[in-house]
Chains A and B, each alone.
Chain A
Amino acid sequence: MIDWVHPSAFLILGALFIPFFKGRVQQIYIVILPALALLTVMLMSPGVYGVVKFLGFELIFGRVDKLSLAFAFVFSSAALIGATYALHVKDNSQHIAAFVYAGSSLGATFAGDLLTFFTFWELMAFASVWLIWSRRVKASIEAGYRYLLVHAVGGLVLLAGILIFYATTGSIRFEGMQQVNGAAFYLILIGFMLNAAVPPLHAWLTDAYPEATVTGAVFLSAFTTKTAVYALTRAYPGTELLIWMGTIMALYGVVFAMLSNDIRRLLGYHIISQVGFMVAAVGMGSALAINGAVAHAFAHILYKGLLFMGAGAVLQMTGQSKLSDLGGLYRYMPVTFVLYMIGALSISAFPLFSGFVSKSMEISAAAEMHLPQIWLLLTMASVGTFLCLGLKIPYYTFFGKDCGARPTEPPRNMLVAMGMAAFLCVFIGVYPAWLYDKLPNVVEYHSYTPTHIIWALQILLFTAMGFFMLRKKLGGLRKITLDIDWFYRKGAGVFMQFVYRVVAPIENWFIQVYRHVFRGNLVLGAKGLWLDKNVIDGAVNAIAAGVVRGAGAMRQMQTGQLQQYALVMVGSLLILSLYSLF
Chain B
Amino acid sequence: MIPKADEPFHFFSRLSLNVMTGIKAGNLRELLEHLKAVPESVIYQQTHRFLQQHQFLVPEPPNDFAYWVTHMLQDEKLGECLAAIDTVRFNSLEELRQALVSAIEKHLAKTNHSRPAPEGKEFHFMSAIRFSVPTPYFARDLAEFASCLKKVSISSLYLHVFEAKLRPPLGVNDFSHWFRTQLGETKLAKQVERLDPYTQTLEGLRSKILGLAQSRLEELSRAAA
Q: Do A and B come from one complex?
A: no
A contact residues vs B (CB 8 Å cutoff): none
B contact residues vs A (CB 8 Å cutoff): none
